[in-house]
Structure 1
Amino acid sequence: MSEEVLLEVKNMHVHYGAIHAIHGIDLKVNKGEIVTILGSNGAGKTTSLHTISGLLKPSSGEILYKGQRIDGTKANKIVGMGVAHSPEGRMVFPDLTVKENLEMGAYLRKDTDKVKSDYEYMYNLFPKLKERSTQLAGTLSGGEQQMLAIARAYMSAPELLLLDEPSLGIAPILVQAIFDAIVDLNKHGMTILLVEQNAYASLKIAHRGYVLATGEIFMEGPASELITNEEIQKAYLGH
């Protein structure tokens, strides 16, 4: 695997008013990797993603994408640079059809032929979306909306895909389909930063992981080591 660093976060601090949510974290994502951020509720996982994608501004520290600082850059500009964010809670456009949601994802693109082949790839990856392409997104099940949120983010042609809790509130039968799709996307060359409460499922597919607790990284390493770590097993894997 190439060691080209796509994303690097250096000593990032984030405050919500008086609350110090993130305490100087460092992390990096190499091109071609799936990197997962684990942690219990309130650990700062979603805040970290929101800050990387420009929805929040860090109080201090640096966020580098392809060597260029993006902290303080507007979220829509960051999308244009090649970072797409599939947010927690899915946030699809409920009154638009599946197809229209995907079109919104591709809104900034001019490469019409590639857009067409990306639609095909998404419909092959998520056949349910193809079946429901003319259906309003608000009428889909939670799992189908999650598939749509990932597909919509992919349609912006990112180099880095940020996925926030893709398995949250989804029927177990669809969770596996979502994780299989993430692996497929990665095999297609997509670099993925994955925030996930389902520690076991995410460590099984990730290359590396970071464990956040109360806004600090207290453990990091290859996913294969984290999955067998006793502390991680006790805290997150139910052993």
Structure 2
Amino acid sequence: MTTSHVAFDDVSYTVGDSRILTGVTTRLTAPRTAVIGANGSGKSTFARMMNGLRRPTSGAVRVLGLDPSADATRVRSRVGFVFTNPEAQILMPTPAEDLTLSLGSVPRATRAARVERLLEQYGLAGRGDQPVSELSGGQRQLLALAAVLCTEPRLVVADEPTTLLDLRNARRIADLLLGLKVPVVIVTHDLELAARCDEVMLFDGGRLAAAGEPEGVIDMYRRISA
């Protein structure tokens, strides 16, 4: 029996008079899951519930066996979240300082060497002391991703991580995410990226409209969007 790393049971989310999610019940068991749907379909809210950034109005969410609403600190220590805009998560003025902050639990004596390895690994060698403001959009997203992955999360959730990038950098970020050895959930409008995943989930009007093999779910999305 395959163990689920994410479980939603009859989850709804309401803001004022607006119903963002309605009755979502699902289990995520695939190594690589894509979440697709039109703007406003509820897919980003679905993703943000996985580390407590959104709390369900009703229903239950379990992530890695934990309740993100009741145990947000433990969940966030295990779930790495990558935002669309890296500015939302880069906190320090230079790449080296930002990675050093993320590596706070690493012994001080080895931290600097670890930062240098990360900079090289993510294509930022020689840019550790360069102001973040001078990095390209792709370099900033690589830095944001490095800062998340260096904490060794057990699950990675990425909310439209390639939307603001050119084709080359979008492919690079996609390759990094799809090559991870931990489960990854990617919210995306890039149907080529979705097709590379093991499972695709389609949201429509706040409901989970379909989930399964990429080809069939993507085809359904194209039909309802025509």
For normalisation by structure 2, the TM-score amounts to 0.86
CA positional deviation for 1:134: 1.5
Other-structure match for 2:35: 37
Q: Which amino acid aligns with 2:198?
A: H
- How many Å separate the matches in 1 of 2:109 and 2:14? 43
Q: Which amino acid aligns with 2:67?
A: R
Other-structure match for 1:198: 190
- How many Å separate the matches in 2 of 1:122 and 1:62? 37
**CA offset digits 1:87-109 (Å, max 9, x no partner):** 222224365211222223233x3
Is 1:97 the counterpart of 2:94 in the alignment?
Answer: yes
- How many Å separate the matches in 1 of 2:111 and 2:33? 26
Other-structure match for 1:54: 52
CA positional deviation for 1:10: 1.6
Contact persistence 1:85–1:163 (CA under 8 A): yes
CA positional deviation for 1:67: 2.6
Is 1:208 the counterpart of 2:199 in the alignment?
Answer: yes
- How many Å separate the matches in 2 of 1:215 and 1:40? 10
Distance change in 2, residues 1:95/1:154 (3 Å):
closer
Other-structure match for 2:76: 79
Is 1:152 the counterpart of 2:141 in the alignment?
Answer: no
Other-structure match for 1:13: 12
Other-structure match for 1:232: 221
Give 1:69-148 correspondences, 5 Å limit.
Answer: 69-74=67-72, 76-80=73-77, 82-90=78-86, 91-93=88-90, 95-107=92-104, 109-110=105-106, 119=115, 122-127=118-123, 129-148=124-143
Other-structure match for 1:163: 158
> Which stretches of structure 1, 4 residues or longer, exceed 6 Å deviation after superposition?
111-118
SS in 2 for 1:69: coil
For normalisation by structure 1, the TM-score amounts to 0.82
Contact persistence 2:92–2:98 (CA under 8 A): no
Contact persistence 2:12–2:21 (CA under 8 A): yes
**CA offset digits 1:163-209 (Å, max 9, x no partner):** 01111121112111111111222xxx1210111111222222x1101
CA positional deviation for 1:122: 4.0
Identical-residue share of aligned pairs (%): 19
SS in 2 for 1:131: coil
Runs of 5+ in structure 2 lacking a partner?
A: none
Runs of 5+ in structure 1 lacking a partner?
A: none
CA RMSD between the two structures: 2.7
- How many Å separate the matches in 2 of 1:113 and 1:27? 44
- How many Å separate the matches in 1 of 2:12 and 2:19? 8
SS in 1 for 2:177: helix
Other-structure match for 1:26: 25
CA positional deviation for 1:4: 2.3
- How many Å separate the matches in 1 of 2:112 and 2:92? 23
- How many Å separate the matches in 1 of 2:135 and 2:106? 29
Q: Which amino acid aligns with 1:79?
A: R
Contact persistence 2:202–2:217 (CA under 8 A): no
- How many Å separate the matches in 2 of 1:41 and 1:137? 29
Distance change in 2, residues 1:112/1:38 (3 Å):
farther
Contact persistence 1:13–1:24 (CA under 8 A): yes
Q: Which amino acid aligns with 1:137?
A: V
Distance change in 2, residues 1:94/1:208 (3 Å):
same
Distance change in 2, residues 1:61/1:115 (3 Å):
farther
